[in-house]
Chain A
């Protein structure tokens, strides 16, 4: 990996979110809480979702890990809180497509905003899991919250 590749990986936006994460800390109320771990490196996230009337009211999290995994949780919070569930799911899918695109997918800045900075991460297979850790946790928690709501 060259110095240029390194800069593509660590965009300023990513380093900014890493230094000053948005929405970090666990909050009430929440309908579901999950704990996800990346077994290869030990990065972990505890993530809660609060849904109300088909909207993502809050995503709160506590996490330990590298700059990529921390920044991606921060970006997730910015992108998904306040969105309708349908929109949030669509954004989730777009981020997933970007990360699994091996660097060949052109991200839509209107949809992904700061998350387009992760386009460079997609070229590093070892780091894709870091970027996806909180996103997978969000999907899991949201599914549990929805299932819990249906059972009531």
Chain B
């Protein structure tokens, strides 16, 4: 099959979990990578090696281990900066996940400072956001009296831009949207929206949780008017560990935002009367960070860099096209979101008439096929399409066409198990 990663079998060997079998001797067919990705041996080894040989707190331990640990942590920041094509490495802030990165932005934009949002201002999001890119903005609106608005969706699962001129206006202070939908798979025109938002002086935040794993990102190469000002992603979806996420922000914006959490490491000096703060990135990294997780993330993005994000993207598109084709052979199955692989990511949500997603996932599990069932933390997007929940398959760089065949076969089996049709 043209477009698959040329060394797919070698790649699969990098992920030890793919070798295991499940109850009943079933081989694992892992199609839940949009939920969390599996980890290559190099990430596991890097983390174990750090804990076994270099463990110490960073930036404060005046001994050899402290220096090694600090070096490894800061090198991880360099690797993440390279992964994003960040204009500056100090613009990379480590957080605990994408939710924390989004909350950092939404919280500090409500604090006193030159970017403070207040009554009469507007916050613009979209109806296809993950709850983590909805709730923090609702909270910001509640705290500040600003108005929350959103782009609706078209029937085929894209952003409805018909009222963009009304939605993006001189009152718009921040526009936050996902690059790739975790439910519909849609890839959004981030550059176009950023250009419009910037023309009215708004700050643009992008949730790249689903984009970072599969799209090549080169922030420095983007024209500045099309480049987001803030971007969030999480480590565990890019073959890294849980407990680590990233907020990238343009220096000028990060410097204009007040600190988020106060504490150790984020200060310049502390007196009882008041404190002054460290420069970025440390200003936003209070307390001992998840050190080994950051180092694991560094190894993860370096691994993806070696495989090549262009190749990963092509692989995902190829698998997605093959899956969309296969899903259409299942009677009563409806895909939610765009039907052409070129304009979507590798997560495909669907409904199967007569069988609830929970039950589908359960029968698939008995065949070793792991998918997600539920609202995928995108309840408004589900409500938009009049469905309460859906089943989602999501592939990644280690997914084979054979695994898609296993999914389709298991879906046919599900229909007969529940005696549908």
Contacts and interface: CB of A to CB of B under 8 A. Distances in A.
Contacts of A64: 388
B357 A6 contact: no
A24 to B, nearest CB: 15
A42 B417 CA distance: 23
Contacts of A122: none
Main secondary structure of the interface of B (DSSP, over half): helix
A44 B373 CA distance: 15
Given A66-B359, A68-B358, A2 B418 contact: no
Contacts of A100: none
Contacts of B375: 41-42
A65 B23 contact: no
Interface string B374-393: 11000100100000110000
Interface in B386-413: 388-389
Contacts of A41: 357-358, 373-375, 389
A70 B417 CA distance: 17
Contacts of A6: 362-363, 366, 417
A90 interface: no
B388 A9 contact: no
Contacts of A66: 356-359
A152 interface: no
Contacts of B388: 42-44, 64-65
B302 interface: no
Which size bracket describes the interface of B in this complex?
20 to 34
B358 A1 contact: no
Contact of B366 (A2, A40, A127): A2
A127 B365 CA distance: 13
B274 interface: no
A5 B23 contact: yes
Contacts of A5: 23, 366
A130 B23 contact: no
A67 interface: yes
A1 B366 CA distance: 5
Interface string A40-74: 11111000000000000000000011111010000
Interface in A126-145: 127, 130
A65 B358 contact: yes
A66 B375 CA distance: 13
B421 interface: no
Nearest to A2: B24
Contacts of B366: 1-3, 5-6
Contacts of B357: 41, 66
Which of B22, B382, B388, B419 has the most A CB atoms < 10 Å from its CB?
Answer: B388
Contacts of A43: 358, 388-389
Contacts of B418: 15, 67
Given A15-B418, A67-B356, A42 B362 contact: no
B23 A2 contact: yes
Interface string B22-63: 111010000000000000000000000000000000000000
Interface in A107-130: 124, 127, 130
Interface of A: 1-3, 5-6, 9-10, 15, 40-44, 64-68, 70, 124, 127, 130
18 contacts: A1-B366, A2-B24, A2-B26, A6-B366, A10-B359, A10-B417, A15-B418, A15-B419, A41-B374, A41-B389, A42-B389, A43-B388, A43-B389, A44-B388, A65-B358, A67-B418, A70-B356, A124-B362
Interface of B: 22-24, 26, 356-359, 362-363, 365-366, 373-375, 379, 382, 388-389, 417-419
Given A1-B362, A6-B362, A65-B356, 9 more contacts: A5-B366, A6-B366, A10-B417, A43-B388, A65-B388, A68-B358, A68-B359, A70-B356, A127-B358
Q: What 7 A-B pairs are tightest by C-beta distance, nearest first?
A: A66-B358, A2-B24, A66-B356, A6-B366, A42-B375, A41-B374, A42-B389
